[in-house]
Structure 1
């Protein structure tokens, strides 16, 4: 049986011009039976198209804020460091992936860019712009494997099909979030204060994104493990 190759979007450290990635993304893919391949940041459309042909699926990882200009807004003071070069590379990559109809998983920043690339918008800063029913902690100070709040999973969604549960406890490390969902996307999970925590695209082989960080949980949390296994299986 062919082992699927998963293209992974890179983190870029501007201070030292370093492309890198948190090891847990790679380990989670390996654990689920795939082989991760870190993609280049400074690549033109032709090079990215070649990568799309090679890879069987793609993981859009966490990282810095998205440039608000990409969803038609001016930058507010609470918006943090942006990396337009990464935004550009990921958007080109995304449209190439969609042309090939290949599986996609987004995590944290990943859910946000996928929403923006399809026409959605974001809260540039949740504390400054979003007032929910409970005002949960979405940027926890506890360790990466600590669970901080629950999400309600939408029945009939791809996420519900994978996890077979109506609720899930998650970790949370984000200050931006989904404001307006892109027209083609559907919410797969929400927090109790009303933020979209997962989304999916119907009539696609596998298109799912979550706001939390299952890559830190897959060794100890069955739901996180199932998520990566379903993604790699789809690839």
Structure 2
């Protein structure tokens, strides 16, 4: 039986000059029924289009901060390292994916870049820019498969369609977050301190992005597993 091929955005390790990705992303795709394919980082638009045409869907993975110039801001002290080459590659890939209405799943950095590519903005650093009566630990100190905080799932959203519940618990490893949501996107989940935790695009075949890391949870958490299964199922029908 044919399995969908999922293009995975790469991480660039500058120190060792290598393109790589955490294995959990690949294993989560395999668990959902897909075949992961790590995409090239350094490729011109035509080369990237050729690689992308092989894929049935795309996973935008976690990683470093986005260059604040991309959403019209100066770099603040709390912003971490940025890698313009990855920003450029991922935006070119995004245009290809949208043109062809191919399913997209974003994780952590993924939700942030997708929001920026569609005209949204970010908190460059939650601790120094965001205030709330209840400020939860968005960058947890516990292990990667430990659940850290809750997410309220918006009804009538793609995430609710997948999970069928109003409330879930997730892990959390981020210091940036969506500030202004892009006009084309809709909120699918928020944290108890009112940060956006999940978004979807109502006019795209499958477009879901989450701030947490289901790739570390899928083997032990049914909610995380359902996210990957739904994504791969959508890719199976491209």
**Aligned partners of 1:53 and 1:171: how far apart in 2?**
33
Q: Does the alignment pair 1:210 with 2:216?
A: no
**Deviation of the 1:15 alpha carbon:** 1.1
RMSD: 0.6
- The 5-angstrom pairing of residues 155-174 of structure 1 reads 155-174=155-174
1:77 and 2:77 equivalent? yes
Q: What is the distance in 1 between the residues matched to 2:190 and 2:133? A: 12
Where does residue 183 of structure 1 map in the other structure? 183
Task: Give the total of aligned pairs.
Answer: 235
1:34 aligns with 2:44: no
1:232 paired to 2:232: yes
CA contact (8 A) 1:120 1:179 kept: yes
2:159 partner SS: helix
Does structure 2 conserve the Cα–Cα contact (< 8 Å) formed by 1:151 and 1:167?
yes
CA distance in 2, matches of 1:123, 1:35: 34
Report the Cα distance in structure 2 between the residues aligned to 1:81 and 1:204, rounded to whole angstroms. 31
Give a deviation string over 1:102-154, Cα, whole Å, max 9, x none.
00000000000000000000000000000123101000000000001000000
SS of the aligned residue for 1:50 comes to helix
Could you tell me the TM-score, scaled by structure 1's length? 0.99
In 1, the alpha carbon distance for the partners of 2:98 and 2:31 equals 26
Structure 1: runs of 5 or more not aligned? none
Contact 1:133 1:192 in 2 (8 A): no
Instruction: Measure the CA separation in 2 of the matches of 1:164 and 1:194.
Output: 21
TM-score between the two structures when normalised by the length of structure 2: 0.98
